[in-house]
């Protein structure tokens, strides 16, 4: 058993194709300064959890499990067509005794262990759903179907949310019972009417999506490693 006698599981959705990155291999297998995104994402979580379930792109399961063959805490499964389906597939493999489950995008491979710890600490303090978030620098507008601005939410009330996101296990299971798709798991939890705590995030937990993000990531790794 892990922290405070509680069993922590982690799910890493890594099954996306990375269309916007435009590489010939899935995004989670792209190498930055000698290490793949999936290896980096695992490193920020593994020391703090009892098991990790990775949702791998179809036909890349063996390649990914080969990266972690010496670690018994890590299990690799096949992901789904959309992110929520990948998380749901991994969720079906989570240890039944899990008390808490973290969900961490492989694409946010520079999130630090400190970020993982902030999420875990909030769960242990009693929150049932926790997401890291950072302030937004842009003014954000809500638009209608014809591209006219409908409203301008106050920037101070907005946060750009990241991963790892943490949940009480039974709540994440309930959230995924709907079978709905969402870009993050907290949205499915909010739909149940459950409070989602936002703790401080970190700029480097930025999601690698575009070629410009990859250039940023390479510079970051070369500077820090």
Nearer to ligand CTP, 50 or 80 (CB): 80
Does residue 36 touch ligand CTP according to CB under 6 A?
no
Choose the binding region for Mg ion from 15-23, 98-106, 127-135, 172-180 (rule: CB under 5 A): 15-23
Of residues 129 and 164, the one with the C-beta less far from ligand CTP: 164
Biggest CA pair distance of the chain: 54
80's contact among ligand CTP, Mg ion, none, with CB below 5 to 8 A by partner kind, is ligand CTP
The nearer residue to ligand CTP, 42 or 98, going by C-beta atoms, is 42
When asked if residue 16 is in the footprint of ligand CTP (CB under 6 A), the reply is yes
20 binds, among Mg ion, ligand CTP, none (CB under 5 to 8 A by kind): ligand CTP
Beta bridge partners, 159, equal: 135
Q: Is 27 in the site for ligand CTP (CB under 6 A)?
A: yes
Give the shortest CB-178-to-ligand CTP separation in angstroms: 17
Using CB under 6 A as the binding rule, whether residue 20 contacts ligand CTP is answered as: yes
CB 137 to Mg ion: min, Å: 23
Subset of 93-152 contacting ligand CTP (CB under 6 A): 105-107
For the chain, the first-to-last Cα distance in angstroms comes to: 32
CA-to-CA separations, 7 to 19, 23, 66, 73, 116, in angstroms, rounded: 35, 37, 25, 12, 15
CB of 133 to ligand CTP, least distance (A): 16
* Per CB under 6 A, 55 contacts ligand CTP: yes
Q: Let me know the angle formed at the C-alpha of 164 by 116 and 185, rounded to the nearest 5 degrees.
A: 150
80 lies in the site for ligand CTP, by CB under 6 A: yes
| Binding residues vs ligand CTP (CB under 6 A) | 13-20, 27-28, 55, 79-83, 86, 105-107, 207, 209
């Amino acid at each position: 058993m892990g922290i405070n006698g509680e069993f922590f599981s982690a799910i890493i959705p890594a099954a996306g194709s990375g269309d916007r990155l435009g590489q010939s291999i899935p995004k989670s297998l792209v190498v930055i300064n000698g290490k793949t995104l999936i290896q980096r994402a695992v490193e920020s979580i593994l020391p703090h959890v009892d098991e990790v379930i990775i949702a791998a792109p179809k036909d890349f399961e063996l390649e990914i499990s080969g990266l972690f063959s010496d670690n018994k805490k890590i299990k690799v499964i096949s992901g789904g067509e959309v992110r929520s389906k990948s998380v749901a597939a991994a969720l079906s493999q989570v240890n039944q005794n899990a008390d808490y489950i973290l969900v961490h995008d492989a694409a946010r491979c520079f999130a630090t262990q400190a970020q993982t710890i902030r999420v875990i600490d909030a769960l242990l303090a009693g929150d049932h759903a926790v997401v890291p978030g950072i302030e937004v620098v842009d003014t954000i507008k809500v638009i209608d179907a014809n591209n006219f601005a409908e409203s301008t939410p106050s920037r101070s009330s907005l946060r750009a949310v990241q991963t790892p996101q943490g949940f009480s296990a039974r709540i994440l299971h309930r959230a995924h019972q709907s079978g709905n798709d969402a870009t993050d798991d907290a949205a499915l939890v909010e739909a149940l009417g459950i409070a989602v705590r936002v703790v401080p995030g970190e700029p480097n937990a930025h999601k690698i999506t575009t070629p410009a993000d990859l250039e940023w990531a390479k510079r970051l790794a070369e500077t820090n490693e």
